[in-house]
Amino acid sequence: MSDGRFAGRVAAVTGVASGLGRATALALAREGARLLLFDRDAAGLAQTGAGCAGAVLVPGDAASAADVARAAAEAEARLGPVELLATAAGILGPAVPAIEAEEADWDRVFAVNVKGTWLAARAFIPQMRKAGGGAMVAFASTAGLAGSAVLPAYSASKGAVVLLTRSLALAHAAEGIRVNCVCPGAIETPMLEATFAAAGDVAARAAREAVWIARHPLGRFGRPEEVAESVLFLLSDAAGFITGAALPVDGGRLA
Ligand SMILES: NC(=O)c1ccc[n+]([C@@H]2O[C@H](COP(=O)([O-])OP(=O)(O)OC[C@H]3O[C@@H](n4cnc5c(N)ncnc54)[C@H](O)[C@@H]3O)[C@@H](O)[C@H]2O)c1
């Protein structure tokens, strides 16, 4: 049930057609936020929008400066200045060792995960200034705090998201704008599902799942709603003295 902690607040969420972005958008809507929702997947965007009364939906590419600027302009025109931002749009890229990666794949992972986060900050933080303050939560990963032999571009990109978060936090603290990121472990979303589907047959898939679960001391994968709760906490006034933090939501994986 809602306690209305975001009643009337204007929030923008990217990557809402699926997984963690969708869970974050639905949770913000339940808590009374007025939402700008953005994703490249128009059908998934519409599905999420159906659960978020009054949301403004903008389809577009998080790595496109023009698309992100259009979303920001639409938000301000229809909802007023955005005070709260969550940037969940992200991709894994192919699971290949760094020295075998294709240049185009490497560039795309950085374009969506790093440039996309920066573009959203650049487009929406000026609106937070107009609103007299605000909060942003970026989506990094445990892979942004520890290396990955199998997902090197993803890991490096999420490490960059962590330091972009800290840089933005320092740059905007005096304006009352807080910037944090979450670092999820393995969470049950279509992104995780794709990782297991790529393992091969049923036995190979089960073996991969068992290995991944064993990396999480709590003995299970996380749920999207658990990450969304952490994002809402960091966006909320309850986190008023927290900025520049990279919060693991990882069942103890990095403990
Ligand atoms: N699921 C996990 O285990 C996990 C763990 C750590 C971090 N994360 C991060 O959390 C975020 C959400 O992941 P998820 O598991 O929900 O993934 P997902 O694949 O289920 O959802 C990602 C969403 O982002 C959208 N998206 C991707 N590229 C886009 C682009 N260029 N422009 C606009 N939208 C785009 C997709 O359409 C989709 O709706 C990602 O940044 C991911 O790296 C996920």
Sheet with 34-39, edge to edge strand ranges: 56-59, 34-39, 10-14, 84-87, 134-139, 177-184, 246-249
Residue among 14, 70, 189 whose CB has most ligand 1 atoms within 8 A, to mutate: 189
Could you confirm whether 154 is annotated as catalytic?
Answer: yes
- Grade residue 1 by pLDDT with cuts at 50, 70 and 90: very low
pLDDT tens, 188-204?
A: 999 899 888 888 899 99
Catalytic residue among 110, 118, 139, 154: 154
Which ligand 1 atom is nearest residue 62's CA? Answer: 32
Q: What does the angle CA 148 – CA 154 – CA 156 come to, to the nearest 5 degrees?
A: 75
Q: Which residue has a Cα nearest atom 34 of ligand 1? A: 39
Q: What does the angle CA 14 – CA 182 – CA 113 come to, to the nearest 5 degrees?
A: 50
User: Can you spell out the DSSP letters for 163-225?
Assistant: HHHHHHHHHHGGGTEEEEEEEE-SBSSHHHHHHHHTT-SHHHHHHHHHHHHHTSTTSS-B-HH
- Grade residue 3 by pLDDT with cuts at 50, 70 and 90: low
User: What is the bridge-based pairing of β-strands 177-184 and 134-139?
Assistant: parallel
Regarding the domain delimited by 10-185+227-248, which CATH topology (the fold level of the hierarchy) does it fall under?
A: Rossmann fold (3.40.50)
Global confidence as pTM: 0.98
pLDDT at 112 over 80: yes
